[in-house]
Amino acid sequence: MSLFQRILIANRGEIARRVIRSCRKLGIAPVAVYAAPDRDAPHVREADEAVPLAGSDPRQAYLDGAALIAAAKAAGAEAIHPGYGFLSESPAFAQACAQAGIVFIGPSPEAMRAMAEKDAAKRLMAEAGVPVVPGYHGEKQDEEALLREARRIGFPVLIKAVAGGGGKGMRLVEREEAFAEALAAARREAASAFGNDRVLVEKYVACPRHVEVQVFGDMHGRVVALYERDCSIQRRHQKIVEEAPAPGLPAGLRERMMEAAVAGAAAIGYTNAGTMEFIVDARAPLGPDTPFYFMEMNTRLQVEHPVTEMVTDLDLVAWQIRVAAGEPLPADWPPPLRGHAIEARLYAEDPARGFLPQTGRVVHLRLPDGRPGIRCDVGIAEGDVVSSHFDPMIGKVIAHGANREEARRRVIAALDALEIAGVATNRGFLRRLLWHPAFAEGRLSTHFVAERQEQLLADDTEPAPEHWALAAAAAQHLRLRRRRATASPQDPFSPFGLCDGFRLNLPAEEEMTFSAAGGVDRTLWLVHCGERALAIRDGARQWRVACEGEDADGRLLLRLDGRLIHLRAVACDHELHLFVQGRHLVFHRHSARWEDEEEAEGPGDVKAPMPGRVLALKVKEGQAVARDEVLLVLEAMKMEHPLRAPRAGVVERLSVKEGDQVEEGALLLTLAEPDDAG
């Protein structure tokens, strides 16, 4: 069986990078595509070749099937991997690929069509002997007939758009009187989201767990189930934490669910990877005979596939590619289950404001990958913009352990070590969720988040008193480091390279006022005791903080009254971000000294660190400079101080000429980003 030489990946973000990894493993050349805002995205940089997609709407660009097929042809790709979302469940696209002689890495258009609408899918599954939620999945759509069916089923019922997805077009109806209004609302939402306002009515399972089974079919008629995933932890009907295997699922129930999943998939001649989603009635503790019902089938790879990969030790994307090329599934599938895996989805969103999507430039990003049992599938890199064009999921942190508790501990520790600044995320929310005793005990249901909203939203962004002292010390250290970098590297002992609060005729003490989340203001007094040590007072307390360099990971080592604390400090705009003890604390600057510092870091302004005379200009306007390249030489107190570029860039404007006398803080020149200059 010969595999493809090139595959075009019709997607972006973490899933595009994920597919690239499997291509590499198989020795296949990956071809990326990108809409304009993704020009510098990691998936573009990592592929062998990247084809731009035209169009003014970046989201639409990834949905242009004809353009994607043309791109595949132009790049010589024999197959297209659609990822998830976008065109992954479009039978029309799969068909167009086939017509163009390109292999669509996924199921057949017929199998996709059979599962595309929830009512037809449920009828088909019932025929195949798969249990479905008691309900009405028929053709009648008038209000009276649907209400009659709802009465027959018994309230509470769920109205669902047949074309639904992502929880849209779904309404819970508790009482008969509320039926008409809920139906109208579900229809409106479905019509606008899917262009199809047909609905079905089904029994509402009061205490449901969402358990889904991974299936895989080859082109030789074999379908295998690769165990289950529990995806009960949802917000707004969307999954945020998934795990494999499902906690507390008895072996007998697992067997029944896997059998039903295989029967259902086999009934539609399913090939490639797919997921049968079931709802388990979890009112009583699970037993081998607990009822479960088919909800829908996702005819693609799922976001949460990594947890299955970890407990089966398989590369599902590689198998998607192999199966699409005609390879049969191994005879010994399913492999034995090994350990437990938990995935947490990192979203750019504000949990406290109804999980509202957030946007922004990621000014700092450190991923916890490389730790034992940890995998990070993330679609962005430091410096990238999270925009409102696309889904706000940034990526996933997945942990494997010998058992559930080990996986849980590891995923929490990994989230603690994850550092992201510049865009608000649900990191803290996920952490509190995974710590929650009910989660630790495996007491899951799809209502988990809603029922504990208050505890999970509990704000822990308020700093403790000692965090203020650490922030002041870290800010001081950043300032020192910056002065060192721009001042006189030849003379490390120059008094101008230091910034120890030294003033003639004044004590070496300074005041620093800043605020933290919630707007609390605090003033600290810093007394410099030698070059690296500070005594810090906040009125009531006093700390002694000394900087002892950096750890292997580049974090500051601050000794706070004897304790050695590892801490990352990132300054950006008006903010100082501290990542310490698993927490992300944000401080805002106030005092003059801080603002000085902020301007020095501003959009490329290079200022005089001391009063002096411009002895020599070493650059011209328009000249590209490397980081640390000498820009000009300043003469102060009869000594020469070369000033170096704080970063790479292009000299946009010179504000001084040779011989000029300048004050401390005077603007000398402006550096533009290398890109800005075009």
Residues making contact with ligand ADP (CB under 6 A):
133, 158, 160, 164-168, 170, 202-205, 208, 210, 234, 237, 277, 279, 295-296, 446
Which is closer to ligand ADP, CB of 402 or CB of 450? Answer: 450
* Residue ranges in 487-633 assigned as alpha helix (H): 592-600
Which is closer to ligand ADP, CB of 79 or CB of 159? Answer: 159
Contacts 24+ apart (CB under 8 A), 153-157: 153/201, 153/202, 153/203, 154/203, 155/204, 156/204, 156/206, 157/201, 157/202, 157/203, 157/204
Taking CA 415 as the corner, what is the angle to CA 319 and CA 453, rounded to the nearest 5 degrees?
Answer: 105
H or E, element range at 155: none
Least Cα distance to 305 among 280, 348, 272 occurs for 272
Q: CB-based burial of residue 137 (10 Å sphere; 0-12 exposed, 13-18 middle, 19+ buried)?
A: buried
Which is closer to ligand ADP, CB of 118 or CB of 641? Answer: 118
Length of the chain, please?
678
- Measured from the CB of residue 231, what is the shortest distance to ligand ADP in angstroms? 7
| Count of CB atoms situated within 10 Å of the CB of 626 | 10
In the DSSP assignment, the letter for residue 443 is -
539 HSE (CA, 13 A, CB side): 6
φ and ψ of 172, to 5 deg: -90, 130
Three-class SS of residue 134? Answer: coil
| Mode of pairing for the β-strands spanning 356-357 and 349-350 | antiparallel
H or E, element range at 97: helix 91-99
Which is closer to ligand ADP, CB of 230 or CB of 377? Answer: 230
Give the span between the Cα atoms of 237 and 241, in whole angstroms. Answer: 12
| Count of CB atoms situated within 10 Å of the CB of 605 | 17
Positive or negative CA dihedral for 473, 468, 360, 82?
A: positive
Give the span between the Cα atoms of 663 and 561, in whole angstroms. Answer: 39
Which is closer to ligand ADP, CB of 178 or CB of 672? Answer: 178
- Measured from the CB of residue 296, what is the shortest distance to ligand ADP in angstroms? 5
- Measured from the CB of residue 161, what is the shortest distance to ligand ADP in angstroms? 7
Per DSSP, the chain holds a count of helices (H) and strands (E) of 19, 39
Which is closer to ligand ADP, CB of 28 or CB of 297? Answer: 297
649 HSE (CA, 13 A, CB side): 21
Question: Residue 294 is encoded by which pair of tokens?
Answer: 């088919």
In the DSSP assignment, the letter for residue 559 is E
Which is closer to ligand ADP, CB of 83 or CB of 164? Answer: 164
Which is closer to ligand ADP, CB of 16 or CB of 279? Answer: 279
For residue 645, CA distances in Å to 463, 488, 648, 649 come to 35, 12, 7, 8
Taking CA 615 as the corner, what is the angle to CA 613 and CA 619, rounded to the nearest 5 degrees?
Answer: 120
Give the span between the Cα atoms of 620 and 633, in whole angstroms. Answer: 14
Which is closer to ligand ADP, CB of 37 or CB of 156? Answer: 156
Mention every residue, 6+ apart, whose C-beta is less than 8 A from residue 476: 499, 526, 534
Which is closer to ligand ADP, CB of 294 or CB of 594? Answer: 294
Which is closer to ligand ADP, CB of 232 or CB of 670? Answer: 232
Positive or negative CA dihedral for 346, 348, 351, 352?
A: positive
| Residue with the CB atom nearest ligand ADP in the bound state | 446
Mention every residue, 6+ apart, whose C-beta is less than 8 A from residue 293: 131, 132, 133, 205, 278, 279, 281
Give the span between the Cα atoms of 84 and 320, in whole angstroms. Answer: 13
Give the span between the Cα atoms of 444 and 365, in whole angstroms. Answer: 31
Least Cα distance to 214 among 205, 204, 222, 224 occurs for 224
Give the span between the Cα atoms of 598 and 606, in whole angstroms. Answer: 12
Three-class SS of residue 639? Answer: strand
Which is closer to ligand ADP, CB of 237 or CB of 541? Answer: 237
300 is catalytic: yes
Active-site annotation holder among 12, 17, 300, 644: 300
Give the residue numbers marked as catalytic: 300
